Structure 1
Amino acid sequence: MTLGPNMHNCARYLIFFQYIGTKYSGAVKVPAHQGLKRGVQDHLEDALRRLKPLNPVSLFISSRTDTGVHALSNSAHFDLQRRNDKPIFTENVLVDALNFHLRKEQIRVTSAHRVRDDFHARFCARSRTYVYRLALGIAHHADLPLTEGDLCWNLHNMELDVGAMREAADVLVGTHDFSSFRAVSSDLPFKSPVKTLDVVNIRPGGSFAHAHFHRDIPFWELTFRSRSFLYRQVRRMTGALVAVGQGKLSVPQVKALLEARDSLAYANLLAAPPQGLFLTRVDYRETDLQLPQQTSEEQPPTSVL
């Protein structure tokens, strides 16, 4: 979008938003003929249309999450044009207005930034961080507190060999061809399997209801950070690391799996289910979130719906 000199009622925004992914088909919109579940993007665009923009509004989401995967901080950008007699929305007013229209959904906008007109939420992102939550010693789903229902992977194991898991995690850190850890998808021929995994961290976690539940449940969190990930890469890496913790896979076997560079090499392993996965951060350069001084000064101090 290029803003002309008389288009001060038009702006590009970056929003950060969170959601519980259980009832949604994923982060991005879904064609109507593909099922009853809608994507988070569908609901965000519905909320934007209720603001009555002049332009057809489309979100460009930074990070595509699968059905059942959650986000504490995903992001997207969009252009919004108002009538000539209406000033552009300030960030705070935009957040409040969107959340008003999203109040019946498990989706919330946490912040908004007016950004330059060539900003792109996906391509400007410097890193993405995912956290996978494990609950141990759970023989049945009913053993979990209600607050954890679809927010972790409940394992029968009371203990995991965390030392071996960390050793296997070290194998994955760095720049590698992660073909063995990506699932087959329609865009597979168009994406390089070479990624740089900056962080894999395994540490104790906790229940959201820890202080109020009748027994202690051991929780662990696996944190992954990279500029970008392949389709289902995090869930496949988590499944392999848990297999190591359960003694079903050795560290040399994880290394051999990585070096195989073949998605079929993963076929007999168990990818972690979606409900334990959270997108927790999408990071940008601070300068990318700042408008040029002249444009910033043109922004009105207040706005109305």
Structure 2
Amino acid sequence: MTMNSEISYVNPASFLLTGIPGLESAHSWLAGPLCVMYAVALGANALILQAVRVEPSLHEPMYYFLSMLSFSDVAMSMATLPTVLRTFCLNARNIAFDACLIQMFLIHSFSMMESGILLAMSFDRFVAICDPLHYATVLTNEVIAGIGVAVMARSFIILFPLPFLFKRLPICRSNVLSHSYCLHPDMIKLACADITINSIYGFFVLLSTFGMDMIFIFLSYVLILHSVMAIASRKERLKALNTCVSHILVVLAFYVPMIGVSVVHRFGKHAPRFVHVLMSNVYLFVPPVLNPLIYSAKTKEIRRAIFRMFRPVKM
């Protein structure tokens, strides 16, 4: 083996992305629905961001956190959009090695950021229901900004080593990825060296961030339920719980597909390949579409703000 071929194995010039296995002939047909999903995700989240910005009645902690969630969804959609549309619309499957590393980092970062924001939103609901008298003094603008910075910093710091851990691995089995975007679990399968460090670090990241976020979200709702059950009036109990419905639905839309992807990846190695691809696509594409629709449908203040934005101005 020559030195040049060894170098090419260690650092392939590019990876080949894959659409949906077995449905290659239908990729042009699938491009339409994908474009609609991206349009809804980008347009609906942009509407919520604009509504929170211009509507004074939405300048409250709950809606500030919602705007962070919408920003995360827009960023996630923008991270996957170039390669997904190139793969399905143009059948352009090549992605440069470094570009793939950057996309991998961005996808995992924005996903972790969304998990952190959902945890912050559960804290917001906890304070609003369990300690309403101190709500305004606990969740000040400075505290909210600090939480936002902390969520972003956590994502960047924890995931910063990931591209470098992957870059040290020799790639000699293949350069074909299983998705139309770059994910760390998919990429390390191509390595022909010991991937124990990458696997352990990935598992540590999963448990220390997503796992801990899920536990704290669950605990916050246990405390919320305990507090709500102490309310004498049934009407007031339902009113309090109704303020949590949107958040609960968004949490389920995010974590259920994520858990499904993890289970299939860990224990479904013999499952058909399209099952892995489908679960990953649901995990990445569905939450950015559902989140703004859920909050728009369940929160009348959001609907009113959006309606005012489109209402013609009287001369």
TM-score, structure 1 as length reference: 0.23
More helix by share: 2
Q: Which has the higher contact order (CA 8 A, sep 6+)?
A: 2
Higher strand share: 1
